[in-house]
Structure 1
Amino acid sequence: MGSPTPDGNEYRTMTLEAFADTIVPGEKRSPDDRAVAGASTGGGAVQAGAIELLETPATGLSNSLDDYQQALNRHASAYADEHGLPLDDSVPPFVALPFADRTSLVQALTGTGHQERELWVLLALFANMAFDTAAHLHTADALAAGHPGLTTMGFMQPGDDGLWRFPEYSYGKQLADPHPGTTSSGSPE
């Protein structure tokens, strides 16, 4: 017998975490983590703060997250029925799907022929954004906390004054000669 059914907010969080983990997989946060499938090592979108980013009013999605959760779980239930998959009713339907099936469902939802494609691609973009940019955090703070995405990408730490400077070029080599009208400060004339 499973654990009690999660309440509405926990249900939503678990569902959205499972979606974000499908987009940028990470390792389980604990042995009993159901939302994060553990399909990868290191931190993924969930550990990078995907839910925090989605709940930020600036995304324009924060008031729609309940609707996303409900729609995703309806799609997951239909997918499970279609494929003869039993679902553990102690967790949301999308969370109950094995990782490979989560991936197949997300591929279908974001596929060019799906009528809701734009909605699911938008949600996926925010999962990527949490990992790739830590958009919900100040970059210096995210780096100091060991943000998994910025760390994985090798994002350079700021100087002692909190500013980024690239005295040896950001790519480690000069890519082009400066424009002849560029001043010593790097500004155009």
Structure 2
Amino acid sequence: MQRVPEQRVDIGAEATVTLEAYADTIVPGEKRWPGDHAVAGVSTGGGAVTAGALELLRWDATGIHDGLEDLAGRVNDHARTYAEQTGLTPDASLPPFVALDYDDRVRLIQELTTPGHPEKDFWVLLSLFCNMAYDSAAHLHTAQALDAGHPGLTAMGITQPDADDLWRFQEFGYGRQLAAHHPDTTPTGSPA
């Protein structure tokens, strides 16, 4: 089966930093550099941003790739309203969501994902994709992600494949073999 080439949608700088801030709120990580405004730095190690959340979101397989600029604009509009309602004066040189501190970002996302919010489905979907980038590296081949030190797969203890790029378990999951191989099983483990 031939693999379909992956398409990535380009988005502007403001949308990029806004969606990075959103992803970092879902799975926080450490700042990538001292002046990193998108990543709040409330956790050690890599979070969703380092795991490639933006790469996954921009991938056409997600189905939301064409709406990323709109989602970034919407979350910035909500952040602007949130700041006004809570009496905050965010840094005007940053997109409104990025200008919020981590705790305020969390409160806003909780508000947006609460049952009954009219846009809840958008924000839950965006959150799920951000989490997916961290916990499964869906946008990367697993061996490639592990070679690059993917933070989520590494944190979960996923091991490197054997030399032939296959994963095998050296010990049985139940501590014993549950059944013998079928006599027609090929050396590669496929049924004959």
Q: TM-score, normalised by structure 2?
A: 0.87
Spell out the pairing of 1:25-174 with structure 2 (5 A cutoff). 25-169=28-172, 171=173, 173-174=174-175
What SS class does the counterpart of residue 53 from structure 1 fall into?
A: helix
User: Which blocks of at least 5 consecutive residues in structure 2 are unaligned?
Assistant: 1-10
Q: Deviations over 1:74-98 (max 9, x none)?
A: 0000000000000111110000001
What SS class does the counterpart of residue 12 from structure 2 fall into?
A: helix
Q: Which of the numbers 20, 23, 33 marks the counterpart of 2:23?
A: 20
Report how many aligned residue pairs link the two structures. 178
The match for 2:182 is 183
Q: Deviations over 1:96-127 (max 9, x none)?
A: 00100000000111111211111100000000
In 2: Cα distance, 1:39 partner to 1:74 partner: 24
Identity of aligned residues (%): 57
In 1: Cα distance, 2:84 partner to 2:75 partner: 14
What SS class does the counterpart of residue 175 from structure 2 fall into?
A: coil
User: Which blocks of at least 5 consecutive residues in structure 1 are unaligned?
Assistant: 1-7
1:53 partner letter? L
CA displacement at 1:156 relative to structure 2: 1.6
In 2: Cα distance, 1:65 partner to 1:136 partner: 17
What SS class does the counterpart of residue 47 from structure 2 fall into?
A: coil
Q: TM-score, normalised by structure 1?
A: 0.88
In 2: Cα distance, 1:27 partner to 1:48 partner: 12
In 2: Cα distance, 1:161 partner to 1:133 partner: 21
In 2: Cα distance, 1:166 partner to 1:106 partner: 40
Q: Deviations over 1:31-81 (max 9, x none)?
A: 000000001000000000000000001111110001100100000000000
In 2: Cα distance, 1:95 partner to 1:63 partner: 21
Structure 1's 120 and 175: CA in aligned 2 closer, same or farther, altered over 3 A? farther
